[in-house]
Structure 1
Amino acid sequence: MTQVVEHPSSRTAGGAEGVPGPVGERFDRAALIGYVAFLALLLYGLAHTYWALGGDGFPFGADDANPEYSAFEHVGRDRLAPWIAGGFLGSAAVALLLALPGRRRIPARVLVGASGFSAAAVFCALADFRILGNLAYVFMLKFGAINWTVINQLFAVVSVGLMLASAIVYQRRTSGACTGCGRTGSGAGWTTPEAAARWGKRAAWTAVAVPLLYASTRWAWALGIPLGISEELWEEGKEDNLWIAGAALATMGALGSLLTLGLVQRWGEVFPRWMVGLRGRRVPLSLAVVPATLVSVMVTIAGVMYIRLHFQGAFDNQRDDWGATVPEMIWPVWGIALAAATLAYYFRRRGACRRCTRG
């Protein structure tokens, strides 16, 4: 009888059949995310080191283009830049540990937790609603609002986002799950298509309802109804045509929320008949998942900023104008619900994994 010798690179990290092990993942595209995250975080940490040493161009705190939106409105570069530099350089070290093949002596939950903490710090403290607002203005062909601070916010968000993706890959690899799809072979649980269809529908309808509540106040203002604001504030906005612009932005958000229904409807999986040239074809998975994920992140960041400003006392003089601030404070519900609906859509449509062949 011929003895078959297993090559070391075919063994799995957790003993799960069909799941690539650490050796086989050295040049894995999933692991490559970690190296990209490390490079981005390292470069941004070095940039803040440059600013901490007196370089020009620091984008945050008192040097922000609009410091009234910043969590560090009255903090100068000399105090803030060193802390941010240390945070990003530390995050770069964690990203490198996540990317390197094999296991670390540091428990996986510590590295994954550190990644989550870094992302939360950027989402809640450095980034704000201007990312979402600038996206809306881009669609309206108004590019003047984009400034150096917003560009830096985008770079920081993308960097820690890549770090989170690397943490997910690392957690899968060290737990024996497939690094591509996360399946372990049990074939049951909340990630099955049947289960995802149930909880995904509830999440999708929640993601539709919240932005419509917000849009209703802006439509009311445009129609001459000062819903949730004082007559004085409404008159001021009327003179500058602010309510027309606000209604336009709200309408864009409402239309986007209706597209969320595609995550639980047939037309979100197969192009409808009226789409000439595409009708009857399957909707590419990434065409729905990527933009929905990005919007969920931006909406959550914007909502967290309004909550932060509330606790900072920024709205203490606007208690009679609750319509201008309260609807935005529930945006994190919108963002989380949209993210959940997107995840459910992914679970329902992902099919068999090319890596581990599970389906």
Structure 2
Amino acid sequence: MAVTQRIPVPVWNRWPTWTAYAALLWSVIYAVLGISWALGGGGFPFGANDINAEGQGELLAEATAPVAGSITAALGAAGVVTAGAMARRARGPRAMLLGFGWSVAALLVLVLPEVRALNIALFPLIFLTLDKMDWPTMNFLILMVGGIFWAGATLAYQRASRSACANCGRVATDRTGRAEAWLLRWGRVITYVAIAAPWGYAVVRLAWALDIPAGVSTEFLRRMESANDGAGAKGMELVLAGMCAGGSLLTVGLIQRWGEIWPRWLVGLAGRPVPSAFPVTFASLAAVGVTAVGLSWARGLPGLIANGFSGDIEGYPVGPLFYLPIPAFLIWGVALGLATLAYYYRRRDDCVHCRRGEAVGVASPVRSRP
């Protein structure tokens, strides 16, 4: 009798299974915490207990433990039931499970996190300092991790519940979905948008580093320099502008050969295929973080529009250019997410789980070369 050799699958590739249980465990923990906060227990991270919320924690600045704790407990309990149903691949109610899962994922990753936590997530080498890592900030980071668990669990359930492979999303008929075909057609254009968008932030920061008052007054720049020891403020602006410029450059790899084949100057890797999971994972996380920052900044957008994109910061007048990073980050995040998805669709190989091949019949330009 022939024996079929089972190919070991890394834990990372089993994410459709363990993300549901991770979301369930996360929900249990926050259900318990919510009950504790509602009953007067310590550690409530919002409202008056968040001493660093001024200027960057407006969304939950008025939250109280009895109300927010009760809501947290209710959402946690509903999450336990929903994640359990997703783990069992329950057939219904599918729309309700998907609606809850995606809503919770968006709430935890894109809506609730404040700017200070998002800064640490995106720029850890700059903003990760001990004085900023208080419990409320750590809680926001934990919320984001829970949101990622929920996104993975919901995506896997969405695929499995329509008889598609939970890992790659392909169906048995190998027919190209409309969204996939659209991304393969417009992916390059969308990637160009993702390449250009971060410069809306980088140019403003670079101007400030060069003492050009873009969108602000000269007095505002002097105030920033005196508060950050002059050279320190300029150095920070240059680093932030450089990181956005670096993100723009790396995005180019999503449509260039060196984004699929390691370049010659990388000794030991030159000429080898770039594992698609590498750029997809990091670009996806960057897209989520950038979008969350843009949404956090955009909470005051209705008021800005009413005031003609003018206002004041600590008594100093600011103009429209000061607010340019808000639409720049929103466009950057969405475009980068779509560009990454187009890159994934273009490069994905046969699935090791369902053994289904290319669903679109379009080979990567790089891999088709001799």
What TM-score do you get using the length of structure 2 for normalisation? 0.81
Displacement, 1:87? 2.2
Q: State the percentage of identical aligned residues.
A: 34
Displacement, 1:279? 0.7
Gaps of 5+ in 1: 1-27
Give deviations 1:39-78, integer Å, cap 9, x for gaps. Answer: 1121122122222222222222332242232202133323
Please tell me whether the aligned partners of residues 30 and 179 of structure 1 are also in contact (alpha carbons under 8 angstroms).
yes
Per the alignment, residue 200 of structure 1 pairs with: 187
Give deviations 1:245-285, integer Å, cap 9, x for gaps. Answer: 12211211210221011111110111101111111111112
Displacement, 1:321? 4.0
* 1:54 counterpart SS class: coil
Please tell me whether the aligned partners of residues 197 and 332 of structure 2 are also in contact (alpha carbons under 8 angstroms).
yes
After superposition, the Cα gap between the structure-2 partners of 1:65 and 1:273, relative to the gap in structure 1 and judged at 3 Å, is farther
Letter in 2 for 1:332: L
Kindly report which structure 2 residues correspond to 1:240-319, keeping only aligned pairs within 5 A, or say none: 240=228, 241=230, 242-311=233-302, 316-318=311-313
Inter-partner Cα distance in structure 2 for 1:141 and 1:217: 20
Inter-partner Cα distance in structure 2 for 1:85 and 1:57: 15
Letter in 1 for 2:325: P
Kindly report which structure 2 residues correspond to 1:47-66, keeping only aligned pairs within 5 A, or say none: 47-66=33-52
Kindly report which structure 2 residues correspond to 1:1-359, keeping only aligned pairs within 5 A, or say none: 30-68=16-54, 69-70=56-57, 71-104=59-92, 106=93, 108-135=94-121, 137-140=123-126, 142-144=128-130, 145-184=132-171, 185-190=173-178, 196-239=183-226, 240=228, 241=230, 242-311=233-302, 316-318=311-313, 320-359=318-357
Inter-partner Cα distance in structure 2 for 1:112 and 1:312: 33
Letter in 2 for 1:281: R
Letter in 2 for 1:232: E
Displacement, 1:197? 4.2
After superposition, the Cα gap between the structure-2 partners of 1:312 and 1:83, relative to the gap in structure 1 and judged at 3 Å, is farther
Q: Which moved more, 1:149-158 or 1:71-80?
A: 71-80
Inter-partner Cα distance in structure 1 for 2:215 and 2:116: 23
Displacement, 1:174? 1.9
After superposition, the Cα gap between the structure-2 partners of 1:141 and 1:233, relative to the gap in structure 1 and judged at 3 Å, is closer
After superposition, the Cα gap between the structure-2 partners of 1:206 and 1:65, relative to the gap in structure 1 and judged at 3 Å, is farther
Please tell me whether the aligned partners of residues 270 and 283 of structure 1 are also in contact (alpha carbons under 8 angstroms).
yes
Inter-partner Cα distance in structure 2 for 1:191 and 1:343: 10
Displacement, 1:35? 1.3
* 1:67 counterpart SS class: coil
Inter-partner Cα distance in structure 1 for 2:72 and 2:83: 16
Q: Which moved more, 1:124-133 or 1:317-326?
A: 317-326
After superposition, the Cα gap between the structure-2 partners of 1:61 and 1:201, relative to the gap in structure 1 and judged at 3 Å, is farther
Inter-partner Cα distance in structure 2 for 1:286 and 1:231: 46
What TM-score do you get using the length of structure 1 for normalisation? 0.84
Letter in 2 for 1:49: I
Letter in 2 for 1:218: R
* 2:29 counterpart SS class: helix
Displacement, 1:339? 0.8
* 1:330 counterpart SS class: helix
Gaps of 5+ in 2: 1-13, 358-370
Letter in 2 for 1:181: C
Q: How many residues get paired?
A: 329
